[in-house]
Amino acid sequence: MWLEETLLAPAPHRQVVLTVLKRLRPYFLYQRALLGELARVAARTITAFVRATVGEGDLSVSLVASIQTHGSLANWQPHLHLLVTDGR
C-alpha cells in the first residue's frame, strides 16, 4: 500500500512475473551479481515492449522490480516481480 499511496502516480499498471529456466538457476546461485543484471535486462525489455505496444518510442515507462530467490517450498527459484505502468 505504501507504494500506491505515497510513491506511485495514479496510472494504470500491471504486475509481470519473469522466471528463470531450471537449467540456468545454478548460475544465479553461484554468481549472485547476475541477479542484478537479470533485473536490468528485464527492465529494458519490458520498457521496450510497452513502448512498441503503445507505438511511442519515447514513452516514459515506470517500473519497480523485486528479485525473489525462493519458491513456495523455500527452494532456490530466482524470479522477478515487476510492477509496470501500462503506457496509457
How many CB atoms lie under 10 A from the CB of residue 44?
10
User: Angle at the Cα of 60 (from 46 to 20), degrees rounded to 5?
Assistant: 15
Instruction: List, in sequence order, the alpha helices (H) in 1-88.
Output: 2, 25-30, 33-54
- Cα(72)–Cα(64) distance, integer angstroms: 22
- Cα(23)–Cα(68) distance, integer angstroms: 17
**Quick one: pLDDT at residue 13?**
84
How does pLDDT run across 32-58, given as a tens digit for each residue?
A: 999 999 999 999 999 999 999 889 988
**Quick one: pLDDT at residue 6?**
75
pLDDT exceeds cutoff 90 at 72:
no
pTM confidence score: 0.81
Q: What is the dihedral of CA 61, 67, 72, 76, to 10 degrees?
A: 140
Domain ranges of the chain: 12-85
